[in-house]
Amino acid sequence: MTLLVDGDARSLVANELDRSLFVEAGAGTGKTTALVGRIVRLVATGRVREASGLVAITFTEAAAAELRDRIREALEAAAAGDLPRSERQRCATAVRRIDDASITTLHGFAQRILAEYPLEAGLPPGFEVEEGIAAELADEARWAQLRDSLLSDPDLEADLEVGLALGLTLHQLHDVTRLLHDRWDRLRGPSPTLAAPAPLDPTVPLAEVEAAVAIALGRTDIDPDDKLMRAVAGEAARWATGLREAVETGDHQGVARLLAAAPLTGWKGGSARVWGDDDKARVRAHMEAGISAAVAMVATARRAVLERLLPRLVADTLAAADARRRVGRLHFHDLLVLARDLLWADDPTVRRMLAARIDVVLVDEFQDTDPLQIEVVAALAGVDTTVLPARWEEVRLAPGRVVVVGDPKQSIYGFRGADITLWAKARDVFDPVDIVSLTQNFRTVPRILDWVNATFADLLAGRDDVQPGYVALGAHRQHIGPDLPVVVVGGPADGVRAPEVRALEASELSRVVAAMKAGALPVDDPGAPGGTRAVRFDDVAVLVPSRTPIGALERALDAADIPYRIESRSLVWATDAVRELLAVLRAVEDPADAVAVVAALRSPGFGCSDDDLASWR
């Protein structure tokens, strides 16, 4: 029997049930198996008194369903195994009552809390959670109402006029409201009163560009079609003339519009042989100074306008959240905010009742926790739930009350508010002796792990609270065939364009796959004689970061006569059938959209010819 390099840590996770643990588990180390094993011991020993006292949280509904199934199967096996009779009985009882346990996402756990104590949370009993299309429609309706209110407000007229002239769009404002909606709990508090933004003063960019234009116009010896001459004496000169007129006539919107449309390109070229080193350098220096000043001015002005609009957007966001609470039509983020507020309320009644019933909280994929989620867990995990400290970092954990498991290198939910810096902060809450690492990898053979460890030790070097350091993994599997090295194919090449690089990489990759098949490379297969067999093409997976390389890869595999199947949900949306269906739906949504109507009529669904369309029009 092969000894595990992290055997002591695994024994601690499984058996030290009266210790709250912080478990860092690398990829392929069986962290969920370890978590399930601990749950079985908690139930068998009576540390979890009733199934309802078990809270196991993960980050997707699919993962929660799988975790529930694995816990049930493990409890069934324990109930039928050779444990003492009392322990088998506890496991059997837990299997029958497994639905009483909270094995769910953190949103699901928050919803359970609110459903049990709706009045205490300020909710009507029987509240609903809007999701998917219903939530999107509600957002669109709220935005339409807010947009109309903004456009009709005389106090905001000047700000909006300047903002729109600077290139801000209503679509971008809508994006801002979505961001505020997704983080509305961070908006509570007084809003600052901001002064109106100062008028734009384009003196510097105008003077610099006019200086460049003057130099260019003075060079009558240069062909007007020269690239640099055309960019400066043409486009830049027209821009400067328009901006000068807007300044002299007091057209503030015109000034804003022209500053936002400053010529950013075209003037960085030019031949020193034609212009001479001195004039070329002077023209480019003036243009660089002028355009940089214009870009900085526009960015500052846009920020000022947005800051002026922000209090109104924030007020609307908070009002909408309160309205959802009052009518009982919540969004997912509302669940976490209201549950957190309920658990951190000055009145400890709900918190104490929940803490008295819950024996243990286990959190899987902890690296994807956001501040709200960790506050929900911390409120129930303390020694004293009667009075909470000011901050979750100051909560003193009750023995055995909480176990968190995760891998900071696998954090993927930053877009949803996950904050990897919380990993280090949460780690500091635990006693150092209760921080353990699972490092035995069960997926990968030694040669690959050696390469991964060497590579990522440098790439994932620890940087304060931004990125925890890489923890090396040890291999449990052994090679079953030749000890083959890790091979890097393709890569950048000097003087070769990107499409050619992709074609070269695809060709090399297809040769590697063909060589594996021709060499009958052995692979694990428990159903084969001896547990191994020769590699097949369907044992090989090729992962790509985007759709861009797929065309070259298809051509290379076809040329090598290698069968393949492309699997990607996103590729479905690029098919002709889906594009034609979307055209029909756009035409139904807006019959005045002539392009969508024509595209729909020409699709196979309607089959109209050009003659039919000409006759129809």
**pLDDT at 223 (0 to 100):** 83
Q: What is the number of other CB atoms lying within 10 angstroms of the CB of residue 489?
A: 13
Which residues of the chain fall below pLDDT 50?
1, 413-418
Span 134-144, pLDDT tens digits: 888 888 899 99
Contact call for residues 35 and 402 (beta carbons, < 8 A): no
Interatomic CA distance for residues 83 and 80, integer angstroms = 8
pLDDT of residue 611: 67
Q: Which of 541, 445, 550, 463 lies closest to 506, judged by CA?
A: 550
Contacts of 3 (CB under 8 A, 6+ apart): none
pTM equals 0.76
Q: Which residues contact 183 (CB under 8 A, 6 or more apart)?
A: 333, 417
pLDDT at 550: 85
> Using one digit for the tens of pLDDT, what is the confidence trace for 546-589?
778 888 888 999 999 999 888 765 555 555 667 778 878 888 87
In the prediction, which pLDDT does 328 show?
94
Domain spans, the chain: 7-122+333-457, 128-327, 498-569, 576-616
| pLDDT for position 2 | 59
CB count within 10 Å of CB 61 equals 12
Q: Give the model confidence (pLDDT) of 57-105 as tens digits.
A: 988 888 899 999 999 999 999 999 999 999 999 999 999 999 999 999 9
Q: What is the third-level CATH fold of 7-122+333-457?
A: Rossmann fold (3.40.50)
- Model confidence over 325-345: pLDDT tens digits? 999 999 999 999 999 999 999
